[in-house]
């Protein structure tokens, strides 16, 4: 074999490696484009990295915030699906990301380590803000929607037992309840339900998240642990029981931003994010979650359509 | 719910009609072509491109390292056992574990994924390159030396060409292995075909699972076939003699 | 480094859980390997003995080796659903080609002179197989078993995403077990795989007659599929 052929192979390998490395360049950015809008307050500001946790609603939120910011000229790199709360928090503290959307209740318990049960949203938010500021972060405005646990039943079952709120479940003997395994030990779970509402006669079935609606439909369980913004709840197919004593707490979303980055980006940055947060009602989130989870639309498309309809883009 | 109430009550957004997915998708039919068509551009193709990139970088870097080590071990035989042990150790650690063990050091980044993937290529590429070089008949070497070739010329003009089948065989195995393991990289960084696979698993969305899974299998088979062709093209003399 | 200390602490505090998951992991792996062996060894040995079907046996291996494990599990989930049985089927599909090809190449490649000599001594085909070919083929067959075992143990880690239990349960569930847990389980999995490799390497050496011990010069085979990959890769 000629010398030349071997050289050619090595050259090809080198070219391959180079192409690969060149591909390295656009790591996380999925090529968001800035539109020609009247005001571009974001032009010239440093790029920010927005992270999201590992489930659909987070993907939608990430796209909503990202696209809204980009419409105003900001440069946003999206690190989608980074992992659980713990990982997102670590990423934020280590500077790998500059902001991510967090749930206020989870922020207090999992990040701030504060297990106090707040009787109202203001209190929870204030406590969260204090902790965040002490550690160099800022909590932006809360969304109207709250994505908390809830118990859902089929409409016929609710009619049969006259169920409106969780308190009404206490009378049912041998209630078959399905939820994720950790629901059993949680204060925002069976423990709290027993303590606050007196629901103790429970036959618990551990289920993977996502399978609870199937189990309800099939009649395998009477009630399931669901999230209040689940797409499946949209349209009234299931009855969500009220939680007047607030066992499940508050889980409105607030973008947590590094204070230093917030200051560097200017006031328009914060205002853009808040403008998006203000229109995120429970119904809006349910519909968007449904589009992603049930109709299998992409979070980017869903976010774009929503922002356009509300003139935020 | 006091001071926030007025602001919260004011929000009444326009919620557009997002359109419904086809009945196939909504009922989670076994395979919905319409979903594949709709999402080729935003989900499947980017994942495929990322997967090819992850693989190409890992194999290229792995080959560079293994090749260098093999040349060294070819000169100094004592290096062989420690290198084989070290690379063998890396190879045996299950991929999911190795990815997670690297995270505290290199974070949730492509770097972590690439380091892990590169380590899976080292043993195969090192071993095959070395075995290829070692397999050159001594008479051929003697003849070459007799003709006055220097050590470098011997290596590049004689030994390496003859070792090519074994080297390419190693590249073939390494490439296919990396294509398979790159799917696990999704636990570290949201890239590659592992992303739609894992997303599909979380929702048991059959179409996404089959589409992404089949793409991955097709990619591996295609890469394997391409490398076989490359090997045949580069070593015409092996086609002549076929025993058994 | 701190994370690793926490990981070991996790292992210490959750020994019962990790032990249970290890047993689940081994059960899944063992079942898959067992079935793969039961199917592949008789087939491979028979084909090798008859010197038939080399193209099939070797190409099955090539295709099988190319099958990405997570992709296969995901297609299996789509078609068969989640659960132990379904994941096990995927693992069998992954292990089968390795064992088959090694068994085939092992018996097919037995020194023809030895076989001739045995026939010359009057042995019938069956006796040749059991008394000459199999003993000589055993080391390479074991190499295939060893590769398959380690491969299945490694892949069983992924079973957690498909509804079966294994040490992977902890690794993929960062939300519940947090970083120390994930690292702790990852360490356990790595150790498990290494122990399996060492055990089967020892077994392989044990069944190799001294005279046949592969030469340690140059590329010392640490993994069983060296010979297989070299021989089969050129087809």
Tally of CB atoms within 10 A around B174: 26
Kindly report, residue by residue over B143-197, the tens digit of the pLDDT: 999 999 998 999 999 999 889 888 998 999 899 999 999 999 999 999 999 999 9
Chain-centroid distance, C-alpha C196: 10
State residue A83 phi and psi, 5-degree precision.
Answer: 140, -155
* Residue B94 domain boundaries: 44-233
**What digits encode the pLDDT tens for the residues C81-96?**
778 888 999 999 999 9
Q: Which residues contact B207 (CB under 8 A, 6 or more apart)?
A: A296, B24, B25, B28, B29, B30, B31, B32, B35, B36, B200, C78
Position B113 in a domain: yes
- Among A165-179, C140-154, C211-225, the range scoring the smallest mean pLDDT is C211-225
* Tens of pLDDT, residues B200-225: 888 888 899 999 999 999 999 899 88
CB contact, 8 Å: B7 with chain A? Answer: yes
pLDDT of C131 reads: 87
Let me know if residue B240 belongs to a domain. Answer: no
- B2, B42, B207 member nearest A300 (Cβ): B42
- A→C contacts (Cβ < 8 Å), by residue, are 83-87, 90, 182, 208
Residue B25 lies in a domain: no
Task: Kindly state the average pLDDT of the residues A31-40.
Answer: 55
Among residues 30-59 of chain B, which lie with CB inside 8 Å of chain A?
35, 39, 42-43, 46, 49, 53, 56-57
Report if residue B189 sits inside a domain: yes
Select the more confidently predicted residue: B240 or A256: A256
**Residue C50 C-alpha, separation from nearest chain A C-alpha, in angstroms:** 38
CA distance B20 to chain C (A): 22
pLDDT of residue C53: 86
CB atoms within 10 A of CB A281: 18
Task: Say whether pLDDT at A77 is over 70.
Answer: yes
Burial label, B191 (beta-carbon count in 10 A; 0-12, 13-18, 19+): buried
Length, in residues, of chain A: 313
What are the chain C neighbours of B81 within 8 Å (beta carbons)?
220
Both tokens of B177, joined, read 């292995």
- Global pTM reads 0.82
Quick one: angle between helices A56-71 and A267-278, nearest 10?
A: 130
Q: Is C121 exposed, middle or buried (0-12, 13-18, 19+ CB in 10 A)?
A: exposed
**A105 vs A111: CA distance, rounded Å:** 10
Average pLDDT of the segment spanning A230-240: 90
Q: Which fold has domain A149-240?
A: D-Maltodextrin-Binding Protein; domain 2 (3.40.190)
Q: Which residues of B touch A20 (CB under 8 A)?
A: 53, 56-57, 60
- Strand order in A239-240's β-sheet? A202-206, A175-179, A223-227, A149-153, A239-240
Q: Coil, helix or strand for C100?
A: helix
Would residue B74 count as lying in a domain? yes
Per-position DSSP letters for A263-308, written without gaps between them: HHH-HHHHHHHHHHHHT--HHHHHHHHHHHHTS---HHHHHHHHHH
* pLDDT of B83 above 80: yes
User: What mean pLDDT is predicted for residues C44-73?
Assistant: 86
Structural domains in chain C, sorted by start: 2-209+220-233 (1.10.3720.10)
**What residues form DSSP beta bridges with A177?**
A204, A223
CB under 8 Å to A284, separation ≥6 — which residues? A145, A306, B13, B15
| Tokens, residue B160 | 């390496």
**Could you tell me if B226 lies within 8 Å of chain A, comparing CB atoms?**
no
Which phi and psi angles does A13 have, rounded to 5°? -60, -40
Q: For residue C215, give both structure tokens.
A: 């030469």
**How many CA atoms lie within 13 Å of B95's alpha carbon, on the beta-carbon side?**
28
Query: Taking 60 as the threshold, does the pLDDT of residue A11 lie above it?
Result: no
**pLDDT band, very low/low/confident/very high, at C211 (cuts 50, 70, 90):** low
Q: Which helix (H) or strand (E) holds A183?
A: none
Residue A28 sits at the vertex; the CA angle it makes with A26 and A30, to the nearest 5 degrees, is 80
- CA atoms of C99 and C105, how far apart (whole Å): 10
Nearest to A278 among B7, B15, B190 (CB): B7
Q: What is the pLDDT of residues A202-215, one digit of tens each?
A: 999 888 777 788 88
CA–CA–CA angle C223, C183, B201 (5° rounding): 80
Determine the distance from the C-alpha atom of residue C204 to the mean position of all C-alpha atoms in its chain, rounded to a whole number.
Answer: 13
Domain ranges within chain A, ordered by starting residue: 48-146+250-309, 149-240
Assembly ipTM: 0.81
Query: Would you state the pLDDT for residue C2?
Result: 83
8 A C-beta contact, residue B13 and residue A280: yes
CATH superfamily name and code, A48-146+250-309: Periplasmic binding protein-like II (3.40.190.10)
Q: C58: number of CA atoms within 13 Å, CB side? A: 19
Cα A56 to Cα A51: distance, rounded to the nearest angstrom:
13
Residue B94 belongs to a domain = yes
Residue B31 lies in a domain: no
Task: Identify the closest residue of chain C to B89 by CA–CA distance.
Answer: C194
pLDDT of A20: 52
Share of chain B above pLDDT 70, in %: 93
In a domain, residue B29? The reply is no
Start-to-end Cα distance in chain A: 61
A294: chain B residues, CB-CB within 8 Å: 21, 26
Gap between the Cα atoms of A207 and B226, Å rounded: 45
Of chain C, the end-to-end C-alpha distance in Å amounts to: 47
Is B100–C183 a contact, with Cβ atoms under 8 angstroms apart?
yes
Q: What is the CATH number of the domain that holds B55?
A: 1.10.3720.10
């Amino acid at each position: 074999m000629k010398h030349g052929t071997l050289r050619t192979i090595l050259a090809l390998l080198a070219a391959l490696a180079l192409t690969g490395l060149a591909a390295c360049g656009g790591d996380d950015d999925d090529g968001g484009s800035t539109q020609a809008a009247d005001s571009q307050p974001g032009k010239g500001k440093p790029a920010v990295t927005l992270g999201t946790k590992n489930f659909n609603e987070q993907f939608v939120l990430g796209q909503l915030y990202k696209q809204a910011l980009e419409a105003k000229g900001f440069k946003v790199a999206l690190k989608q699906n980074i992992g659980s709360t713990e990982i997102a928090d670590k990423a934020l503290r280590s500077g790998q990301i500059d902001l991510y959307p967090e749930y206020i209740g989870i922020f207090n318990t999992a990040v701030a380590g504060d297990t106090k049960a707040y009787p109202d949203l203001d209190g929870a938010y204030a406590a969260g803000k204090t902790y965040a500021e002490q550690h160099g972060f800022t909590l932006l405005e809360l969304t109207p929607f709250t994505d908390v646990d809830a118990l859902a039943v089929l409409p016929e079952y609710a009619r049969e037992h006259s169920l409106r709120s969780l308190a009404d479940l206490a009378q049912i003997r041998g209630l078959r309840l399905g939820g994720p395994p950790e629901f059993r030990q949680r204060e925002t779970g069976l423990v709290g339900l027993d303590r606050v509402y007196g629901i103790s006669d429970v036959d618990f079935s551990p289920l993977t998240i996502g399978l609870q609606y199937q189990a309800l439909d099939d009649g395998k369980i009477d009630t399931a642990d669901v999230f209040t913004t689940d797409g499946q709840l949209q349209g009234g197919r299931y009855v969500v029981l009220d939680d007047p004593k607030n066992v499940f707490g508050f889980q409105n979303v607030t973008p947590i931003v590094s204070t230093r980055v917030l200051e560097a980006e200017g006031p328009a940055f914060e205002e853009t994010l808040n403008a998006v947060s203000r229109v995120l009602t429970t119904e809006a989130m349910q519909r968007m979650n449904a589009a992603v989870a049930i109709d299998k639309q992409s979070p980017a498309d869903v976010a774009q359509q929503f922002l356009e309809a509300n003139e935020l883009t | 719910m006091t001071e926030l109430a007025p602001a919260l009550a004011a929000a009444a957004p326009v919620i557009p009609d997002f359109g419904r997915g086809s009945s196939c998708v909504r009922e989670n039919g076994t395979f919905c072509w319409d979903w594949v068509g709709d999402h080729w551009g935003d989900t499947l193709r980017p994942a495929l491109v990322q997967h090819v990139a992850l693989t190409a970088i890992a194999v290229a870097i792995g080959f560079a390292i293994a090749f260098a080590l093999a040349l060294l071990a070819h000169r100094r035989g004592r290096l062989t056992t420690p290198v084989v042990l070290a690379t063998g150790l890396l190879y045996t650690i299950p991929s999911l574990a190795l990815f997670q063990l690297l995270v505290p050091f290199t974070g949730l980044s492509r770097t972590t994924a690439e380091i892990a993937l590169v380590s899976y290529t080292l043993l195969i590429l090192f071993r095959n390159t070395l075995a290829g070089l070692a397999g050159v008949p001594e008479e051929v070497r003697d003849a070459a030396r007799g003709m006055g070739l220097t050590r470098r010329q011997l290596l590049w003009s004689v030994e390496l060409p003859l070792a090519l089948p074994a080297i390419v065989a190693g590249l073939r195995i390494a490439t296919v292995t990396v294509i398979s393991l790159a799917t696990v990289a999704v636990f570290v960084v949201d890239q590659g075909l592992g992303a739609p696979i894992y997303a599909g698993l979380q929702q048991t969305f059959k179409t996404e699972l089959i589409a992404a899974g089949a793409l991955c299998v097709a990619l591996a088979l295609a890469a394997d076939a391409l490398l076989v062709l490359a090997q045949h093209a580069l070593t015409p003399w092996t086609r002549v003699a076929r025993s058994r | 480094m701190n994370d690793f200390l926490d990981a070991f602490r996790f292992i210490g505090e959750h020994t019962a859980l990790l032990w249970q998951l290890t047993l689940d992991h081994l059960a899944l792996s063992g079942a898959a390997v067992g079935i793969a062996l039961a199917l592949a060894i008789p087939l491979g040995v028979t084909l090798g003995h008859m010197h038939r079907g080399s193209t099939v046996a070797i190409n099955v291996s090539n295709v099988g080796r190319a099958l990405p494990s997570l992709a296969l599990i995901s297609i299996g989930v789509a078609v068969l659903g989640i659960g132990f049985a379904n994941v096990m089927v995927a693992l069998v599909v992954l292990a089968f080609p390795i064992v088959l090809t090694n068994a085939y190449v092992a018996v097919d490649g037995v020194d023809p002179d030895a076989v001739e000599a045995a026939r010359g001594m009057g042995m019938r085909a069956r006796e040749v197989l059991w008394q000459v070919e199999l003993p000589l083929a055993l080391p390479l067959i074991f190499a295939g078993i060893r590769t398959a075992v380690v491969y299945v143990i490694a892949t069983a880690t992924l079973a957690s995403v498909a509804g079966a239990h294994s040490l992977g349960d902890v690794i993929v569930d960062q939300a519940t077990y947090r970083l120390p847990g994930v690292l702790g389980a990852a360490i356990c999995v790595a150790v498990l795989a290494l122990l399996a490799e060492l055990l089967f390497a020892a077994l392989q050496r044990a069944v190799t007659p001294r005279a046949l011990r592969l030469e340690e010069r140059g590329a010392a085979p640490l993994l069983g599929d060296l010979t297989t990959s070299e021989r089969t890769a050129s087809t």
